[in-house]
Structures are given as structure tokens and as C-alpha cells.
Amino acid sequence: MSSKLFWPAIMLYLVIGLYLNYVSYSVPLLEIKVEKENGKWGVTQPYYKDWTGWRNISSDDVILRVDDVPMDHLNQLKYKSKIMAANKITIMKPNGDIQDIHIKHLDIPHQFYYIFLIPACYYVLTLFITFYLHFNQKNTKLTNLLILFMLTVALAYVSSGVSSRVNGIGIIVNRSSMILCLVLLLHFLRDYHLFIKINWLFTNNIKFFYIFPVIAFLLASISVFYPTSYYFFNDVVLTLFFIILLLILSILLLSYFKYKSPKLKILLSSILIPFLPFLFLYSLPEIFFDKHILSGETSSLFLLLIPFSFIFTQLAERLFDIEYHITRLRYYIIFSLIFTLWFTVGLYWIAGKYLTIPVSTCVSCFTFTSLIFLFYIKEKVDYRKRKILFSTKGDYIHQLYTAVDRIGKTIKINELLEKFAHEVSLHLELEQVFVLTYDYDTNQFTSTIEGRLSINPALIEDIKLGEIRKIENIYLAFLHQDAHFKRALVLEHNNSIHIKDEELLWLELLLLYVNNFIENTKMVEELLEELKHMRQADDSQLPWLNKLLWLRFEEEKYQLAQELHDTNLQEQLHIAREVDVLVNAKDPADIQQKLVKIHKQMVVSLHELRAYCENLKPPLLDTLGLNAALEKLIRKVIERASFELFYKIDRLYLEDERMNLMIYRLFQELLNNAMKHSYATTVAIHLQETGDGFKIIYKDDGVGCNVDDIIVAESMGIRGMQERVKAFNGYFYIDSQVNEGMSIRITVKEGSDTLDYDAYSG
Amino acid sequence: MITMLIVDDHPIVLEGTKKLFQENEDIIVDTESDATHVIQRIKNKPYDIYLIDINMPFENGINLARNIKATQSNASIILYTGDDITDYYPLILERKIEGILAKTASKEQILRTVRAIANGEIVLPQNFLDFLDNRFKLQDAKLDIHLNEKEKKILRLIAKGHTNKAIALELNIPQRTTERYLTQLFSLLNVDSRTDAVNLAERMNLL
């Protein structure tokens, strides 16, 4: 069925529809039962009891003419003994007065609404929707069938009022469209099954069924020309109608129970649910209680929803979207219904005697609809303002959680982007999801998948942080931006897509997370790079340091050797010579005396050597401890120095035993400096225990110096001391002015990470 | 009869020192070059006198002296050192050693010292008196010992009966360091045991 059929169908629809509506409008429907008694027409019973004109007519009156047509010639009476429609009825009262009763539509509002106004509205509405479908949706066969179906239903509905006026065209249109709409529905369902790839359980030869509308058309035409056959043919058509209807329902039920597809479930419910009001509010109460809750006209209005529910299934191509809306609506309805019941019971209990049933019913209905509206409004507000969404499943949070978990395991940005696109594609069921990257340096676009780009990549430049924009058939979402790159996520689908609020929120959150994650991943990458760099630098630094240390040690050894050579070695050589002389001496008399002399020399030499050793390796430090060693050092200084030395040495308890050597060296250095350079009269030195380390406080009243000079000049070993203290994470403060003496304060804390002393000392 | 063990890590010194006693039959001399073997060795065969070098690589002479005294309370110990012997005079006062000899001392000095100590006497150079003078001066100055906070804390922990391990945990330091602290503290208080340290501290109201 091609779209060429569209305009002819619309034209036909317009012509027939306008005519039918005109008929419907021109004459109000009355349905007054009349009976011919003694050649005179009398009124028995009107169909519409609320007709105000009824007051003017009594059972004794004789109806002469309807719309100036004598009763005996009235066409309507050929079918039923009813005056179906009339603008004017001429009656004769028993006293012989002839009276014209004019009937206007609004005299009988009930018939006006149900027979004219609502069908007319439905007619116009269908027209609009048809146009909308035609111009906004792709002209698939399904849509065309749906359009035809809707048009037929509208015609059937409009013609129903006209056909009860026993208007020939009305009858024909009504009967044939009744059957045609079902056949079209059958056809639509067959194609829909094909579309959603579910096996069609019934015959594929739908064309055959188009015979039935033709039959209905023929039968109706015959009944127009031969009114006596009217009722029979009418029954035939109705039977046909119900047979086809049952057929459709049973096909749907069967295939639903066979395939359990949610799409079929919706289809089925969209057909069945509109029947429910008719069944429960009209037919069943009528059968069991002889009373109806809703009039037949009103409850059958719901049947007209069927075509619209199909539109739903067509507008959004993916049916589970509808399921989402339906579950949400069901959720809201249940809540509203429970509350409404509660409210109504309460209302009735409190104010039951003041309220009539209709008022209570209206209040309940109002409450119910208001609540449903309230829920929808709340949902919108929540989404806009607080990013909270209604969810019937709570699945989204879980999905987000697992998606984040999966993405979070990557450590490289490209891998991350691919995984992210994959997750989105999986979750939103879109085939084409990829990340588009714009490189500012090279002005080039790259994407995570190979192949065509269906959008103009330049669009990426416009979107801002956190934005998800729909451009034609794709969604473009901002992902991340830095100095070099701008990244965006592109979502596309073969057909047009529509992402629900819930999914959008999911996507937004995920985008936010990925944005942060890229930022962090970049940082990690940079840090790793830096570490690698540092390690390389370290590797290159160590040989240099080793070389330096080696050179320093060699230098030190050289110096020691030189010193020993110049002093002790010479003495030992001298002693050896003396002994050699004695060995070869002829005169033994002097030997004893000379040996005593040599022994003395040797002891002196030994003492010197010992002093030398003591200088290299401080005595007592290992054996008697720091305090004994320092006391000894100080004793020696006091023996030799020209200044008065005040000292105080606290007992220290240091965790690092090697610290003792450092303290000893510092004392040695400070006191040597004092002896060599200070020219002081008094020197004070204090080793003070602190909470987590120690302090050395030195003060003299000597000549002092310019601090900057001595540090630069590297004399007095100040710099060496400074370096040593620094190596132990300590602080070295020196304060001195020329002729103002010198004060030095050294603080070292233990517990803070000390540099590896082994490396320092070699 | 005097039995004596000489401990020194230098074989030449060991040999030379042993030679000094060759002519004296009343003195029987054994030698040991590894200080760490000594304790195991004397458990089987104790000696009267131990002549010990101070500077030895694995265990210094002072530690060894303490360990020997702990194993064999009647042992007499003479330190034999190339260092300045005056530095070690305090050890004599603390009864950690019985005598001290410089390695430059003459054969006669050495024999005299060994024999005297074997007889329960001590032989000391004259400058020991200088040391004593100084010592008493200093002793006067710090007649009442002021313990610092760390020392008080350690003493209190000892008084509570904490083991070294517990003290180490309490002070958050290695156990070896704790042992060093205790040694230092005991030597300050001039005591040999934890009980003595606590008693002394209580007696002198140090805590």
C-alpha cells in the first residue's frame, strides 16, 4: 500500500465525513416511538427522557407531520416505528388545535453531545493526527495502514449517528467502515508482527479479507433499497463484525501467550483496556443489576482510544519506551486510586449527608486526575531542579554502578574512551556510539571507530561543558576538554532516536564521571612519566655520585698516607736504623743505655700514632659511650686551650647510635675552631637534650667574623658541619659579627627520616 | 698456680704476651683470638685471670668483661690496651675490672700486676689518684643526680617490671636500642641490675 493512496483516501474521508456531519447537525436525533392507531399516529415513548419538548406532547396527541412531511409518507418509518430525527413536529391536540413543536439541538443536550459534537471532534482530531503522521513519520506501510485504520474508525463513528437516522449513505458508510476497520486492523497486526520479527500465527493472505467490507457495502446498499431486509442484513454485518473481532483478539492472545513479547503485551492491552469500561461499567451492571454506571454511549467512547494507543506504538519506534510510560502511569494510577478511595471514604464519613452521589463522584474524579497530574508535575520538577527521576525498576543506578566499575579499571585514556562508548552503546541499545576527539594542535578530528562520520565534526566546537544536544538524528554529548583536546560522545541510530529523561540522566552522570576520570587518568599518566624521568635521572646521577665519593676517599687515603709517611714512618725508620747500629755494635757496654733511649723514642712514636688513630676514630665512643668520649675530648682541650671552657653535657638517649659520632665530630670541630681561630677568653658549649633529639649551643667572645665570608671561603669547616647537620635533617644557625664573638646553634631531630647515613659515610 | 686467658684479636700480640710468661711456671697461659668464643669456652674451663684487649672487632673488651663476670663471678679481669689507660679508671671504681695495663707496659709491670691481682690486691699507676681527685670534685658537684625525663620514664618502666621488649614497645624503639639505653642508665647510676637501679632511684628520691 503506497502513499499514493493517501490523498484519495483523505479526499474520500473529507467528502463523506463532511456530509455525515452535516446530516448529523441538520436534524436532531429524537427516537420517538410512535404507533399507528385507527389510522392516527400517536406517541408512545421518547428515547431521550430529558427532552423538554416532551411536556408539550401527551399520549392523546396525534402527530400529523414531521418536517412538513405527512406521517404516512415519512421515510424513517419504513424501518422502525420511530421518529428518528426531526426539526419540527406538527401535532394535533385532542381539542383540535394544531401545534408546531420546533426541536433544537440543545433541547436535548445528551444527543447533541454524543451524536453530533463528540463524533465531530473525533473526526477533526483524526484528520489532524493523520496529517501529522503522514508528514512527520516515515511513510512505512505500517504507518499508512494505521492512517487508514484511524480514518475508517472515525468514519464508522461519525456515521453511526447518521445511520440511526436511517439515512441511506449513513447506513452504507457505517456498515462497510465497521468491517473495513477490523480488516485493516488485522492487516496492520500482521505487518506489525513482521516488523517486530514475531511469527504471525494466522494466514498471510490478508487480501482475501477485504471481501468482507465489500459484502457489508453490498448488504447495506440492498437494505437501503429494500427496507424490509434492513434488520436481517444489519444482524449479518454485526455478526461478521464480532467474528472478525474475536478472531483478532484470539490471534493476539495466542501469540502473546506463545511469545510473551512485551510489545505484544502492550498491543493486547491497548486493545483490551478500552473495552473494560464498556464491560464493567455498562454491560455487566446492566446484565446483573439492570442498572448501568456509565451510559453505553459514554463507555463506548473508550473504544475510540484504540487507534490512538496504536499511534503510541508507532510514534516511538521502540516499544519498551511505551512500556516505561505505561508502568509509570500504572504506578501513579495505583497511588492516586488508593488515595482517592481513602479520601472519598473519609469525605463520605465526614460530610456524607450533605453530599449527593454525583457530587461525591465528581470530587473523587477530580482528586484522582489531580493526583495523577501532580505526580507528573512533581516528576518534571524533580528532574529539572534536582535531577531526580521516577524509576519503576531502580535499574539505572545499578547500571550506572556497574558501568562506572567497568570503566574504572582502565589506566589509559584511549582504552577508557572505548570502554565508555561500548558501555553506552550496550545500555542505550544504540549501534553507533563513539567518541569524537578534536585535536587543537593539528586541527584534526579522530574517532574511536573507523569509518564514516555522519555529522559535521565542527559541531563539536559549539557544545559546552555538561551539554547533551540533539542534532537531527544524533545526540552529541560533551565529554572532556583540555588544552590539547576536546572530546565529545556521538550517539546515533539507523532510525531516529529519542533518549528518555531517565537515560539522559544516566548518561549525564556517566559523562560527569568519565570527565573526572579522564582528568585523573591524565594526572596519573603524567606522574608516571615524571617518575620514569626521575628514575632515569637517578640512574645517571648515581655513577656521578659514586665517582665523586670514590675520588674523595682516595684523596682522604692519600692524605692519611702522606701524614703517616711524614711523621710516624720517619720515626720508625730512624728507630730501625738505631737498632741496626746496636745489632752491629762492637762495644756491648753502651748497648743497655742506648736501648733504653730507643725504647723511649719508640714509646713517644707509639703515643703519636695513638693520637693519630684517636683522631681518626674517636676513642671511648664505642666502649664507654658519648659522654665519656666528650669528657675526654674536653679534658684535652682544657689542657691545651688558652681560653676558659664552660661546658655542660646532657645525657642523650638517641635511637640512632651513629648520631653519637656526628655529635662528637661537631664538638671536635667547634672546639678546634675555637682553639685555632677564635682568640676567645671564654668559650661555652652545651649539649642539650630535647624532646626528640638534641641541640648543641656554642658561644665564644672571640674575634668573630663575617659569616658570609667564612661560608664561602670554606675555611674552619663550617660548611662541612652545615652539610653534615643537613644530612641528618638538622638545622645549623650561625651568628657572628667581626669582634662580636660567634654563636652557633645546631638542632637535630630524630624520628624524621634521616638520609641514609651509610651512603654518606661510605 | 694461676690460670690465665689472654684475649686479643692480633696474633702477634697474643704470641708476644704469652712469651712474657714463659719463664714463670706458676702461671699457665691460654690464648683466644676471637672474643665471641670466650664465654662458651670458659663455661667448661674457667680461668683465674683474664687479660683482655679493649679494641676488638666483634665484641669490645669492656662488654666481654661484663659477660665474663656474669658467667663467672669470681673472675679477675685486667684490660690490656694500646689506648690511654686513664680513660678506663672509672671501670675499676665500678668494680667492672680489677686492673688495667697499657700495651707499652714493661714485662715487670705486667707480671707484678698479674701476681698482685691473683693475690687479691690491686696495682695501679700513680695518676689514678689524680683521677680520684677529679672524680671526687665532680662527685661533689653532682652529688644528687638529676635524671632527665627520658631516664625517669625508663626507670619507671623498669620499676613496673617491664621487660626490655615491653620498654622497647612503650618507647617505640628497637629492642637493641633499649638495651643500650639501660646500659647507659645503669652505668650512670653505677648499678648492675634492674632491681638495684630501682632501689637506688627510690632511695635517692630520683623518681
Amino acid at A206: I
**How high is the pLDDT of residue A452?**
58
Task: Tally A–B CB contacts below 8 A.
Answer: 42
From the list A46, A73, A77, A75, the residue with the least C-alpha distance to A59 is: A46
Band of pLDDT at residue A233, cut at 50, 70 and 90: confident
Flag if B60 and A603 touch (Cβ within 8 Å): no
Element (H, E) at A685: strand A682-690
Q: Is residue A153 a contact partner of residue A181, using CB atoms and an 8 Å limit? A: yes
**How high is the pLDDT of residue A745?**
92
Which residue do the cell numbers 488485522 mark? A186
R_g (Cα) of chain B, nearest Å: 19
Band of pLDDT at residue B30, cut at 50, 70 and 90: very high
Flag if A657 and B61 touch (Cβ within 8 Å): no
From the list A696, A686, A634, the residue with the least C-alpha distance to A659 is: A696
Task: Give pTM, 2 decimals.
Answer: 0.43
Mutation to test the B interface, candidates A608, A612, A613, A653, most B Cβ within 10 Å: A653
- Kindly identify which residue of chain A lies nearest to residue B151, measuring between CA atoms: A653
Which triple of cell numbers denotes residue A9? 483516501
- DSSP-assigned letter for residue A61: -
Flag if A610 and B60 touch (Cβ within 8 Å): no
**How high is the pLDDT of residue A755?**
42
From the list A206, A329, A337, A205, the residue with the least C-alpha distance to A270 is: A329
Of residues A415 and A76, more confidently modeled: A415
Band of pLDDT at residue B47, cut at 50, 70 and 90: very high
Distance between CA atoms of A747 and A725, rounded to whole angstroms?
8
Tens digit of each residue's pLDDT (9 = 90 or more) over B112-127:
999 999 998 888 888 8
Across A10-14, A536-540, B156-160, B162-166, least confident range: A536-540
Tens digit of each residue's pLDDT (9 = 90 or more) over A693-743:
899 999 998 888 887 777 666 666 788 888 888 888 889 888 888 888 889
Question: In the sheet that A682-690 helps form, which strands lie side by side, from edge to edge?
Answer: A644-649, A682-690, A693-700, A742-749, A730-736
**How high is the pLDDT of residue A757?**
41
Distance between CA atoms of A179 and A496, rounded to whole angstroms?
34
Phi, psi of A696 (to 5 degrees): -115, 125
Distance between CA atoms of A323 and A268, rounded to whole angstroms?
12
Listing DSSP states for A12-40 in one string gives HHHHHHHHHHHHHHHS-EEEEEEEEETTE
**How high is the pLDDT of residue A747?**
92
Q: Compute how many other C-beta atoms are within 10 angstroms of the C-beta atom of residue A464.
A: 8
Tens digit of each residue's pLDDT (9 = 90 or more) over A430-471:
777 888 888 877 777 777 766 656 666 677 777 777 778 777
Distance between CA atoms of A384 and A100, rounded to whole angstroms?
64
Would you say residue A388 has pLDDT above 80? Answer: no
**How high is the pLDDT of residue A319?**
44
Q: Which residues of A touch B173 (CB under 8 A)?
A: 655
Share of chain B above pLDDT 70, in %: 95
Distance between CA atoms of A9 and A3, rounded to whole angstroms?
10
Which residues, in sequence order, are CB contacts of A455 under 8 Å at separation 6+?
A471, A474, A476, A490, A492
Which residue do the cell numbers 443489576 mark? A289
Would you say residue A295 has pLDDT above 60? Answer: yes
State the complex-level ipTM: 0.73
Sign of CA dihedral B193, B195, B200, B201: positive
Tens digit of each residue's pLDDT (9 = 90 or more) over A354-365:
877 778 788 888
Q: Is residue A339 a contact partner of residue A371, using CB atoms and an 8 Å limit? A: yes
β-strand pairing of B49-52 with B76-81: parallel
- DSSP-assigned letter for residue B72: -
Tens digit of each residue's pLDDT (9 = 90 or more) over A479-530:
888 777 888 888 876 655 667 777 777 788 888 888 888 888 888 888 888 8
**How high is the pLDDT of residue B143?**
47
Flag if B84 and A606 touch (Cβ within 8 Å): no
pLDDT, mean of residues A587-605: 84
Q: Compute how many other C-beta atoms are within 10 angstroms of the C-beta atom of residue A728.
A: 21
Which residue do the cell numbers 456498515 mark? A175
Band of pLDDT at residue A320, cut at 50, 70 and 90: very low
Which triple of cell numbers denotes residue B6? 689472654
Band of pLDDT at residue B4, cut at 50, 70 and 90: very high
Question: What's the gap between Cα B160 and its chain centre?
Answer: 28
Element (H, E) at A570: helix A570-583
Q: Round the average pLDDT of chain A to a whole number and report it.
A: 79
Which triple of cell numbers denotes residue B49? 685471670
pLDDT, mean of residues A101-123: 80
In three-state secondary structure terms, A708 is helix
A622 touches chain B (CB under 8 A): yes
Smallest Cβ distance to A620: which of B87, B173, B181? B87
Band of pLDDT at residue A318, cut at 50, 70 and 90: very low
Flag if B148 and A657 touch (Cβ within 8 Å): no
